[in-house]
Amino acid sequence: MPEQAELKRIAEKFQEIFGDCDGVIWLRAPGRVNLIGEHTDYNDGFVLPMATQQEIVLAARQRKGFQARLYSLHYAKGGQFDLKGISSDAENPWINYAQGVTWSLLEAGYEIGGIEAVVGGDVPIGAGLSSSAAVEVAFALAFSHLYDLKIKREELARLCHRAEREFVGLPCGMMDQVSSLLAEEGAALFLDCRSLYYKPIPFESEAVRVVICDTQVRRELTHSAYQERVQECNEAVRLLRRHLPQITHLRDVSGEKLEKFGGELPEAVYRRARHIVSENERVLRAVEALEGEDFEELGRLMDGSHQSLKRDYEVSSRELDLMVDLAREVSGTLGARLTGGGFGGATVNLVASSEIENFKREVSRGYKEATGLSPAIFVSRPAARAGLISGGEDSSP
Ligand code: GLA
């Protein structure tokens, strides 16, 4: 649940802009931290994220007509758009997430009208913790409640995903949207991105904590590098199909088959494929480790994931590597890796509960010394999926 102070800040802004808070509904949508399974989602593979206690909070109500009037506390900026003429807003990139979802709902034939809303919350923006998907999910749920659309959560995830891919323009997978909409409190979420089969894996042990370290270095994910990786994976599939005509995604390729035919791929493309194939295996092993509360093994798999992302997939950065190395030096760290798209953003660490304060102090000091930047380091327990905070029944089954 969001802090009272944050709700107050949002309510005051809402009142200031829109006059009063009558008929307002309140929603929260968590960010996510991916424990393991990076860049596998758009390869139809496996992921194991959890929803974070850091979340986007939205106050919204219906507005007569077809205008959307919004304010973002993160950017200290307002903006608006017309539902009958939606087009991307280069001046106000944050609005595109709300616009994208609106567009996606309209495209799917849902009857929606105007909205006025204030967005706040504490998911760090651009840190690889899925603030954008959380904003999309919050708006999708707001429309669903305000216009009584009764959309199932799986469908909402698809609509938000479409917004991100086709409106915002990032050729991503569905991990972020599914995690925010379907994760469960006290559990990580195993997701098969092909079938959308998902299963909460209980993660409530008092022995370890998930610690997130934000490097404070930002990279825009829409950057060509993400798209380049998507293309390289597609290229790997295209070339491997000469020998394996039945495959459609790297998900379908085993380690053994990749070894057998991988020599024919360009070297970089081979390494990209090797990351995806090995990462999918690591996710399945991580699920077993988490189910058996074998945190040493889970930590080792996280370490392996980072090495693979660094060497084979090449999406790490100097700061991410430094943060991981510093974490590895602290006793009580079981695993450390970059989380999210990479090139900047945050790391996720599995740390013995008794060592948390020491971890924060040591990593923070080392990082500051080496970079001059003060990292944000925080613990998150697996949080509940997005939903209403107050103002009505949850009509999204
Ligand atoms: C971003 C995308 C996700 C996923 C990750 C990498 O967060 O939005 O769909 O591809 O990068 O795992």
pLDDT tens digits, 89-110: 877 878 999 999 999 999 999 9
Task: Please say whether the dihedral angle defined by the alpha carbons of residues 383, 385, 386 and 391, taken in this order, is positive or negative.
Answer: negative
Asked if residue 173 has its Cβ within 6 Å of ligand 1, the reply is yes
Q: What is the dihedral of CA 244, 278, 183, 338, to 10 degrees?
A: -130
Asked if residue 136 has its Cβ within 6 Å of ligand 1, the reply is no
Structure token pair of residue 138: 């919050």
Closest ligand 1 atom, residue 174 Cα: 9
Task: Give CA separation, 15 vs 8, 104, 383, in Å.
Answer: 10, 29, 29
Rg (CA), the chain: 21
Residue 2 banded pLDDT, cuts 50, 70, 90 = confident
What pLDDT is recorded for position 220? Answer: 62
Q: Same domain, yes or no, for 135 and 228?
A: no
Q: Same domain, yes or no, for 153 and 29?
A: yes
**CB of 143 within 8 A of CB of 110?**
yes
Task: Give CA separation, 283 vs 241, 277, 328, in Å.
Answer: 24, 10, 21
Q: Same domain, yes or no, for 131 and 180?
A: yes
Structure token pair of residue 18: 């829109």
Structure token pair of residue 45: 């593979």
Q: Which residues pair with 70 in a beta bridge?
A: 79, 117
Overall residue count recorded for the chain in this entry? 397
Q: Same domain, yes or no, for 279 and 293?
A: yes
**CB of 179 within 8 A of CB of 306?**
no
> 162 alpha carbon to ligand 1 midpoint, in Å?
14
Percent of the residues in the chain that have a pLDDT greater than 90, as a whole number: 92
Rounded to an integer, the average pLDDT of 162-186 is 96
| pTM, entire model | 0.96
What pLDDT is recorded for position 221? Answer: 53
- The pLDDT tens digits for 13-24 are 999 999 999 999
Rounded Cα–Cα distance for residues 335 and 328 (Å): 7
Q: Same domain, yes or no, for 245 and 157?
A: no
Rounded Cα–Cα distance for residues 77 and 217 (Å): 22
Q: Which residues pair with 25 in a beta bridge?
A: 60
Helix (H, G, I), strand (E, B) or coil at 278: helix
**CB of 343 within 8 A of CB of 317?**
yes
Q: Which residue has the tokens 């507005």?
A: 63
Q: Same domain, yes or no, for 333 and 245?
A: yes
Q: Which residues pair with 62 in a beta bridge?
A: 115
> 77 alpha carbon to ligand 1 midpoint, in Å?
26
Asked if residue 341 has its Cβ within 6 Å of ligand 1, the reply is yes
Rounded Cα–Cα distance for residues 52 and 32 (Å): 5
Task: Give CA separation, 330 vs 275, 324, 336, 350, 355, in Å.
Answer: 27, 10, 11, 11, 8
Which structural domain, as residue segments, surrounds residue 375?
A: 208-380
User: Residue 326 is part of a domain; what is its CATH number?
Assistant: 3.30.70.890
Task: Please say whether the dihedral angle defined by the alpha carbons of residues 28, 31, 36 and 38, taken in this order, is positive or negative.
Answer: positive
**CB of 100 within 8 A of CB of 168?**
yes
Rounded Cα–Cα distance for residues 240 and 19 (Å): 61
Q: Work out how many domains the chain is built from and give that number.
A: 2
Under DSSP, the state recorded for 356 is H
Helix (H, G, I), strand (E, B) or coil at 206: coil
> 176 alpha carbon to ligand 1 midpoint, in Å?
7
**CB of 57 within 8 A of CB of 28?**
yes
Q: Ligand 1 pocket test: pick from 40, 172, 250, 283 the residue with the most ligand atoms within 8 Å of its Cβ.
A: 172
Asked if residue 38 has its Cβ within 6 Å of ligand 1, the reply is yes
Asked if residue 279 has its Cβ within 6 Å of ligand 1, the reply is no
Asked if residue 344 has its Cβ within 6 Å of ligand 1, the reply is no
Rounded Cα–Cα distance for residues 163 and 366 (Å): 40
Q: Same domain, yes or no, for 191 and 262?
A: no
Q: Same domain, yes or no, for 170 and 250?
A: no
What pLDDT is recorded for position 103? Answer: 98
For residue 155, give the H/E element and its range.
helix 153-162
- The pLDDT tens digits for 40-79 are 999 999 999 999 999 999 999 999 999 999 999 999 999 9
Closest ligand 1 atom, residue 34 Cα: 12
Rounded Cα–Cα distance for residues 358 and 345 (Å): 22
Q: Same domain, yes or no, for 260 and 143?
A: no
Q: Same domain, yes or no, for 389 and 374?
A: no
Would you say residue 394 has pLDDT above 50? no
What pLDDT is recorded for position 200? Answer: 98
Q: Same domain, yes or no, for 351 and 388?
A: no
Q: Residue 182: count other Cβ atoms within 10 Å of its Cβ.
A: 19
For residue 7, give the H/E element and its range.
helix 4-18
User: Residue 103 is part of a domain; what is its CATH number?
Assistant: 3.30.230.10
- Residue numbers annotated as active site: 176
Q: Same domain, yes or no, for 120 and 158?
A: yes
Q: Which residues pair with 191 in a beta bridge?
A: 47, 198
Closest ligand 1 atom, residue 226 Cα: 11
Q: Ligand 1 pocket test: pick from 41, 161, 230 the residue with the most ligand atoms within 8 Å of its Cβ.
A: 41
